[in-house]
């Protein structure tokens, strides 16, 4: 039975966070991605380099390749452009005009930048000393053939993608990202773009959560919508749980006669890990799992849903991806606002953080979407705090953009 009495069954925020952490694991399913589309994924296998990088001794400057000898005057024998495939042979005292990225012949042992050279017909004169191998990027300097290029577990940043492409690699094996269901519930919901009849509101939670998921680079998302009907709620949740790694439901989780989500989850034998957290907003938050599928039922109130997403769902998603930053960054900031808390639940307050200072916004109700739209942070006020005075240091969660 999912209907609980608040007083006995609400768990603390800290307990809820540690329950999510203890019950989510890195998703071990792997997939092959083209390098272009592998950004943000984690490598599931070591990658050995199929080539030496650079593949030849490479000039780091526009200038002259030299075969060093005693004097600072060299005879100019020809030119090597980037991409040229010929390899001239230099004798001591000979020089070739060369450009950045071009192959330095094996018989050249230094490149001097053109700014240090004066040219007189076919003779060049060099100012200052030239050291052996200067301005030559040696073959295999970055990585040698068959050596480890990137190890399993490496996050594929744009730089890593560039590095793999430079080695001629076209596909990589990575850990799959979870497929995620967003299920909205409620007879009152209509799609933006349609006519709004009396009693109806525009459905906005799925757009909001979709955007938050895109921000975290999750793109395999399936959207479902159910009316307040028990049979259809059970059927839709069943499909979503079977077809996804993580299910996010919004609405229908409170105690109203038409809040069917809790009962449907019980019927589907979703293991309840917690239901109801002592917090504001987001008290009627449910977290559970069925087999390997994680299930979060977020309250329908939009600001409650988004707060729960940032504080709890975020942890599960990051952990499933083997990412390090499970929780959003928290900083200490000085409050620019006086705030009095009502009630005894810890609160997440929508706020604007700027350079060490934070302004707590008006309109903290969990239905107030405009307030959240202005916020870039949540000030955390714990159970015992009743008042925030101006200048007081407060714990502030920085929201993703």
Ligand X SMILES: Nc1nc2c(c(=O)[nH]1)N[C@H]1C(S)=C(S)[C@@H](COP(=O)(O)OP(=O)(O)OC[C@H]3O[C@@H](n4cnc5c(N)ncnc54)[C@H](O)[C@@H]3O)O[C@H]1N2
55, two tokens: 């593949």
Question: d(Cα 386, Cα 382) in Å, to the nearest integer?
Answer: 8
Local structure of residue 35 (DSSP, 8 states): G
Name which of 56 and 310 has its Cβ closer to ligand MOO: 310
Write the binding mask 366 to 385 for ligand MOO: x where contact by CB under 6 A, - elsewhere: x-------------------
Write the binding mask 156 to 185 for ligand X: x where contact by CB under 6 A, - elsewhere: ----------------------------xx
Return the range that interacts with ligand MOO (CB under 6 A); candidates 100-108, 222-230, 260-268, 297-305.
297-305
| Minimum CB–partner distance for residue 277 and ligand X (Å) | 11
| Minimum CB–partner distance for residue 363 and ligand MOO (Å) | 13
Ramachandran class of 108: left when φ > 0, alpha when ψ lies in -120 to 50, beta otherwise: beta
Q: Which of 40, 178, 299, 346 binds ligand MOO (CB under 6 A)?
A: 299
Local structure of residue 151 (DSSP, 8 states): -
Torsion (CA) 208, 271, 218, 311 in degrees, nearest 10: 60
Binding partner at 189 among ligand X, ligand MOO, none, C-beta below 5 to 8 Å by kind: ligand X
Would you call the peptide bond into 281 cis, given omega within 30 degrees of 0 as the criterion?
Answer: yes
Closest to 203 in 3D by CA, of 227, 181, 179: 227
Phi, psi of 180 (to 5 degrees): -125, 135
Closest to 380 in 3D by CA, of 355, 338, 336, 345: 345
Write the binding mask 350 to 379 for ligand X: x where contact by CB under 6 A, - elsewhere: ----------------xx------------
With binding defined as CB under 6 A, does residue 94 bind ligand X? Answer: no
Name which of 94 and 228 has its Cβ closer to ligand X: 228
Write the binding mask 241 to 260 for ligand X: x where contact by CB under 6 A, - elsewhere: ---------xxxxxxx--x-
Q: Which of 189, 212, 368, 394 binds ligand X (CB under 6 A)?
A: 189
Name which of 187 and 242 has its Cβ closer to ligand X: 187
With binding defined as CB under 6 A, does residue 229 bind ligand X? Answer: no
Q: Restricting to residues 192-211, which ones interact with ligand X according to CB under 6 A?
A: 201, 203-206
Q: Are 348 and 378 in contact (CB under 8 A)?
A: yes
Binding partner at 262 among ligand X, ligand MOO, none, C-beta below 5 to 8 Å by kind: none
Compute how many other C-beta atoms are within 10 angstroms of the C-beta atom of residue 17: 16
Q: Are 364 and 337 in contact (CB under 8 A)?
A: no
168, two tokens: 């001629």
Q: Which of 137, 177, 276, 280 binds ligand MOO (CB under 6 A)?
A: 280
With binding defined as CB under 6 A, does residue 281 bind ligand MOO? Answer: yes
Binding partner at 196 among ligand X, ligand MOO, none, C-beta below 5 to 8 Å by kind: none
Residue nearest to ligand X (CB): 300
Name the burial class of residue 323, with classes exposed (0-12), middle (13-18) and buried (19+) by CB atoms within 10 angstroms of its CB: middle
Positive or negative, the CA dihedral 8, 13, 15, 20 is: positive
Total residues at interface with ligand MOO (CB under 6 A): 8
Q: Are 270 and 288 in contact (CB under 8 A)?
A: yes
Return the range that interacts with ligand MOO (CB under 6 A); candidates 38-46, 65-73, 200-208, 275-283.
275-283
CA angle 186, 279, 312 (to 5 degrees): 70
Q: Which residue has the tokens 């502030």?
A: 396
With binding defined as CB under 6 A, does residue 52 bind ligand X? Answer: no
Return the range that interacts with ligand X (CB under 6 A); candidates 43-51, 65-73, 276-284, 315-323.
276-284
Separation of first and last alpha carbons in the chain? 39
Question: d(Cα 311, Cα 377) in Å, to the nearest integer?
Answer: 12
Note the residues at the interface with ligand MOO (CB under 6 A): 280-283, 299, 301, 304, 366
Note the residues at the interface with ligand X (CB under 6 A): 184-186, 188-189, 201, 203-206, 250-256, 259, 281, 283-284, 299-302, 304, 366-367
């Amino acid at each position: 039975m999912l209907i609980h009495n608040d007083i006995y069954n609400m768990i603390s925020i800290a307990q809820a966070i540690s329950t999510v952490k203890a019950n989510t694991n890195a998703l071990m399913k792997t997939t092959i991605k083209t390098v272009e589309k592998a950004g943000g994924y984690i490598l599931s296998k070591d990658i050995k380099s199929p080539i030496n990088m650079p593949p030849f001794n490479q000039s780091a400057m526009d200038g002259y390749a030299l075969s060093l000898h005693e004097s600072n005057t060299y005879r100019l024998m020809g030119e090597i452009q980037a991409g040229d495939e010929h390899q001239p042979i230099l004798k001591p005292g000979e020089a070739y005009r060369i450009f950045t990225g071009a192959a330095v012949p094996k018989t050249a042992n230094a490149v001097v930048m053109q700014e240090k050279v004066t040219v007189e017909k076919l003779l060049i004169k060099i100012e200052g000393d030239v050291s052996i191998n200067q301005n030559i990027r040696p073959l295999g300097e970055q990585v040698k053939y068959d050596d480890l290029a990137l190890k399993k577990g490496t996050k594929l940043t744009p730089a890593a993608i560039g590095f793999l492409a430079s080695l001629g690699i076209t596909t990589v094996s990575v850990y799959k990202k979870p497929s995620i269901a967003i299920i909205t519930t409620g007879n009152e919901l209509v799609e933006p773009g349609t006519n709004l009849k009396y009693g109806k509101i525009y459905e906005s939670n799925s757009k909001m959560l979709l955007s938050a998921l895109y921000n975290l680079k999750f793109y395999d998302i399936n959207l479902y919508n159910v009316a307040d009907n028990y049979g259809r709620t059970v059927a839709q949740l069943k499909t979503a749980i079977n077809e996804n790694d993580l299910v996010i439901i919004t609405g229908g989780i409170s105690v109203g006669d038409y809040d069917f989500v809790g009962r449907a989850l019980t019927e589907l034998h979703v293991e309840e890990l917690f239901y109801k957290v002592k917090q504001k907003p987001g008290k009627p938050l449910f977290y559970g799992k069925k087999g390997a599928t994680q299930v979060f039922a977020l309250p329908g109130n939009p600001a409650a849903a988004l707060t729960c997403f940032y504080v709890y769902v975020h942890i599960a998603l990051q952990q499933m991806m083997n990412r390090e930053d499970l929780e959003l960054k928290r900083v200490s900031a000085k409050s620019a606002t006086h705030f009095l808390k009502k009630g005894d639940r810890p609160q997440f307050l929508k706020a604007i953080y700027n350079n060490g200072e934070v302004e707590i916004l008006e309109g903290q109700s969990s239905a107030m979407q405009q307030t959240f739209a202005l916020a870039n942070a949540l000030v955390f006020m714990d159970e015992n705090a009743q008042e925030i005075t101006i200048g007081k240091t407060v714990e502030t969660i920085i929201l993703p953009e």
